Structure 1
């Protein structure tokens, strides 16, 4: 029976309307890029993240900010395995109290389940889940939006699974290796780094990205295990989750629901049913968050359009359909409202030298 499934509000699904992701990945990305001679500070500042903010423990970033910096880092470094480098550079201390709780867990399985349960506090930009599969214990990492920019998508999955294995080796021993590592994207041109790092069979083009761990490794004791400390840390984590849940989880769940449903937008009545609330109550809760359902839909559509405009093989008609617009004219009006320019001009800017826009 699967355990530690994704909670109601997956981590890292904050989109254009909510800045709720701890910037752990961006901090490590900045460090890794700097080692390769690339200074990401100007690009962080372009999305509103200066050095002072990046040092703040209270800083939260949006999914759009994180994706924009990752995309630029990939362009500047030219490293197709940059996600693996960032994942391999991490430590549990970057997760704050959650990392401390994981170190105090009884065994590797309990640590993984705890990470899934409190993933909203970890700064993850994927949706984590875990459970028994294929005779072992699987840790799964999925994208919050199927239309995510392909380069950013590969980076996030690489970073996620590499960091999971890195943290396991830092705690239960450097000889740790999964039974299998699987990636839900096509095999890259250079596959050797995957086998060299994971130390197990590696598969690509599968439905879900995951690492499967043998039961013996799942039971491996954590070196800092302490049931009293673990229970105390969970109490504090529960308090932190409760303080964030009222606003953050409502926005995140609704935004990912919209993104995964496009091109069809769920009706507000359907959203109210999903939240076991009346439409009036749900509108009031959104108002308390400082937004409306229409604004959430607009934000998710905007992010989807910006992702799709980076794919030169798509026409504006294709993009309008996939983002849930009735026609190209409606799409063009939306792009002008968002960016103050035409869809063609905006596309030329984001594509740069990749060639003329279609449509």
Structure 2
């Protein structure tokens, strides 16, 4: 097998479905779902997030775990605008240490730029960018993977902008309204909740997910601005970012390597050699990320199986072969472990 060296993703604002995130969105999703008498803890437990784990400040969850929970929550609540509800329910403390930096920033624009800079530490599930344009100060939210389940993609876009507006009103002024909001998904049946929340023109079927701040608001001083506190928190965030970047890059490169090699899987010894390190050191680094090589392989195979089952053409034998399983029986055992159903039932429900 040729030795493949995947391109390293940019660490600054990149986001990958292989990365791990803080479970802030899932915690608020569980709270909002409770109001519908939908209790997500059994579902969270099914994907490895029991109650004790969810209370851990050090917890990181994968995009796969998050996407599974979001998709099922939308189905169980029957709320097509669940992302709006979850975003609007949040507080700045939901963003952890970056939230405190935002509160202590000098202006709203400084707060936005800080949030974008440290998005990898805030639990964001979209890729944020911001810059001044003729229209105003423009905030963009890109999906981490264009092939995301449509219901998850809609949820993430809604949650992203709803949380930004809610947190801006809490921290800078309840009267805040964007100049405009654009969503890349098609118009929903009921657009009322959008205009009620954003209080501005909302466009659907746009080229990108985009929210425009008035420049006067971007320049507005933050009520809680504190240069000393801001500098202290920024120092802590820089330390966390350095550690986080190293871990994220390691996971992304390993998962890309595994995905590119399927149906074969590079041995752990091969991966250690590619990283010019010992097996012991690589195993320790993965433990610091809260995972193992076996778990990464399992996750990549799971993603490949789900992608293949979405297509009408591949037979179960094709799926098993392309995902690196020895036979269809091994594929069936894996799918039942992941989803609790057969591959046929899973394909029908995707």
Give the structure-2-normalised TM-score: 0.80
User: Contact conserved, 1:183 with 1:208, CA < 8 A, in 2?
Assistant: yes
Q: Which residue of 2 aligns with 1:75?
A: 75
Cα deviation code 1:61-80 (max 9, x no counterpart): 11111111111111110000
Q: 1:70 to 1:13 in 2, by over 3 A?
A: same
Does residue 170 (structure 1) correspond to residue 162 (structure 2)? The answer is no
Instruction: Give the gaps of 5 or more residues in structure 1.
Output: 1-5, 267-278, 321-326
Q: Which residue of 2 aligns with 1:32?
A: 32
Q: 2: CA distance between counterparts of 1:292 and 1:119?
A: 25
Does residue 349 (structure 1) correspond to residue 345 (structure 2)? The answer is yes
Q: 2: CA distance between counterparts of 1:56 and 1:295?
A: 20
Q: 2: CA distance between counterparts of 1:286 and 1:185?
A: 46
Q: 2: CA distance between counterparts of 1:91 and 1:11?
A: 24
Alignment of 1:125-164 (within 5 A): 125-164=125-164
Q: 2: CA distance between counterparts of 1:221 and 1:7?
A: 32
Q: 2: CA distance between counterparts of 1:119 and 1:133?
A: 21
Does residue 223 (structure 1) correspond to residue 226 (structure 2)? The answer is no
Cα deviation code 1:297-347 (max 9, x no counterpart): 9844642541563x4xx3134x99xxxxxx76733754945553689x844
Q: Which residue of 2 aligns with 1:340?
A: 333
Does residue 283 (structure 1) correspond to residue 240 (structure 2)? The answer is no
Instruction: Give the gaps of 5 or more residues in structure 2.
Output: 1-8, 262-270
Q: Which residue of 1 aligns with 2:321?
A: 330
SS at match of 2:190: coil
Q: Which residue of 1 aligns with 2:11?
A: 8
Does residue 62 (structure 1) correspond to residue 62 (structure 2)? The answer is yes
Report the Cα offset of residue 280 of structure 1.
9.3
Report the Cα offset of residue 293 of structure 1.
11
The CA RMSD over aligned residues, in Å, is 3.4
Report the Cα offset of residue 95 of structure 1.
1.8
Report the Cα offset of residue 248 of structure 1.
1.6
Give the structure-1-normalised TM-score: 0.78
Alignment of 1:246-261 (within 5 A): 246-252=246-252
User: Contact conserved, 1:283 with 1:292, CA < 8 A, in 2?
Assistant: no
Alignment size in residue pairs: 320
Q: 1: CA distance between counterparts of 2:242 and 2:335?
A: 43
Larger CA deviation: 80-89 vs 193-202: 193-202
Larger CA deviation: 83-92 vs 239-248: 239-248
Q: 1:285 to 1:124 in 2, by over 3 A?
A: farther
